[in-house]
Amino acid sequence: MITVEQLYEKLKPIRVGSPLCEFTLEHCQKIHPVIARIEELKQKENAIILAHNYVAPEILYGVADHTGDSYGLAKIARDSDAEVIVFPAVRFMAETAKILNPHKTVIDPNPDGGCSLADGISAIDVRRLRKQFPDHTFVCYINTTAEVKALCDVCVTSSNVYHIVETIDNDNIYFLPDKLMAMNVIQYLQDRGIKKNISWYDGTCYVHEEYGPDAIDFIRTGNPNVDVLVHPECQPAVVEKADYVGSTTSMLNHVRESSGDTFFLLTECGLTGILQSEFPEKRFVGSCTMCKYMKANSLQDVLQALENPRPDQIIELSPEVRQNALRCVERMFEYAEKTSS
Ligand code: SF4
């Protein structure tokens, strides 16, 4: 278990302009008993905690067994031997863990935590669209509910979307729910001379759609050597100006491997916090935006959910939805493995 001093060392470099991220030694001392109790329960219940890169730093550094992006965490959930998976993130991620682990208990500490993408499309919408586009392969971003995944052909994440759409053996594709990601994929394919007929749904991530290209121009004016890293949920005009486009984990790896010293990240604040902690010698300029859904998870929620989970915190899926959603998610793993080989 992490000590108070180790926790403070990890948290003190994090400064992303929010009281949530202003950590003191006293704060670490105060939360440490909660961390100790969570660790005790993890042992007792044979539980692991999977935390997305965007959740609160106390969770990432205090109790998480694994941190990462949607794709990495889905793989860890698939391969885990734990009996209980606690998933502080957003609902669709915990549902994906349950799709992959029907016999394990999967707990979502913050069941009201939505996502503007996942909440923007329902199974009814997908049934209607499938009638409207009968010849299309339906590709869903992982930021969708299990019911929506169950009606789609293949799932993608920000770490494999470009490669999977490129590889699909059908020129007619319906991409949902993120219209900005769809536009970025179209541009990516066009740049490589690949023609596909891609239609898309009208969803967006409320965090990433906020960024505009002017922010990059402004930051570059004062920091001519800045390395600009962008998430593919951003607008195409933002992606076009980026030095690097990728998932949160690939951005983290990019910073790790880069010889540069100044970075501007256009994604949720959690990633900037991790990078400030891991690479205190590097500079992270510009602003970031917090996802209210991811940040709604707290250490206390994790403790309560492990100690005495409420029915609404335990993920349950009907066998039919789970099996159809599993087919969709497994096709993602097959495509991702095919494209990376
Ligand atoms: S950052 Fe955007 S895509 Fe991610 S959980 Fe929040 S609203 Fe959803």
pLDDT tens, position by position, 278-328: 999 999 998 888 899 999 999 999 999 999 999 999 999 999 999 999 999
* Cα–ligand 1 centroid distance for 208 (angstroms): 8
Ligand 1-lining residues (CB < 6 angstroms): 54, 90, 115-117, 143, 205-207, 268, 291, 293-294
- Model confidence pLDDT, tens digit, residues 203-246: 999 999 999 999 999 999 999 999 999 999 999 999 999 999 99
The pLDDT, as a whole number, for residue 307 is 95
Please name the residue ranges forming H helices in 140-231.
146-149, 161-167, 179-191, 213-222
Q: What totals of helices (H) and strands (E) does the chain contain, helices first?
A: 15, 12
The pLDDT, as a whole number, for residue 151 is 98
CATH 3.40.50.10800 fits 208-285, yes or no: yes
| Architecture of the structural domain at 118-205+319-340 | 3-Layer(aba) Sandwich (3.40)
Domain 118-205+319-340 shares a fold with domain 208-285: yes
**Superfamily of structural domain 4-114+294-309:** NadA-like (3.40.50.10800)
Q: pLDDT-derived band of residue 42, with 50, 70 and 90 as boundaries?
A: very high
Residues 161 and 102: their CA atoms lie apart, in Å, by 26
* Cα–ligand 1 centroid distance for 221 (angstroms): 29
Domain ranges in the chain are: 4-114+294-309, 118-205+319-340, 208-285
Q: pLDDT-derived band of residue 18, with 50, 70 and 90 as boundaries?
A: low
| Amino acid found at 296 | A
CA-based R_g, the chain, Å: 20
* Cα–ligand 1 centroid distance for 129 (angstroms): 23
Q: pLDDT-derived band of residue 277, with 50, 70 and 90 as boundaries?
A: very high
Structure tokens at 260: 């540069």
What Cα–Cα distance (Å) separates residue 289 from each residue in 53, 220, 226, 270?
14, 19, 19, 9
The pLDDT, as a whole number, for residue 20 is 58
Best residue among 268, 289, 290 to mutate for probing ligand 1's pocket (most ligand atoms within 8 Å of CB) is: 268
CB-CB contact of 116 with 208 (8 Å): no
CB-CB contact of 315 with 108 (8 Å): yes
* Cα–ligand 1 centroid distance for 54 (angstroms): 9
- Model confidence pLDDT, tens digit, residues 62-118: 999 999 888 888 889 888 899 999 999 999 999 999 999 999 999 999 988 789 999
Partnered with residue 200 across adjacent β-strands are: 175
The pLDDT, as a whole number, for residue 341 is 44
- Assign residue 159 a region: left if phi > 0, alpha if psi is -120 to 50, beta otherwise? alpha
Best residue among 117, 140, 265 to mutate for probing ligand 1's pocket (most ligand atoms within 8 Å of CB) is: 117
What is the residue-averaged pLDDT of the chain? Answer: 93
**Given strand 47-52, what is the order of strands in its sheet?**
66-68, 47-52, 84-86, 105-107
The pLDDT, as a whole number, for residue 152 is 98
CB-CB contact of 241 with 211 (8 Å): no
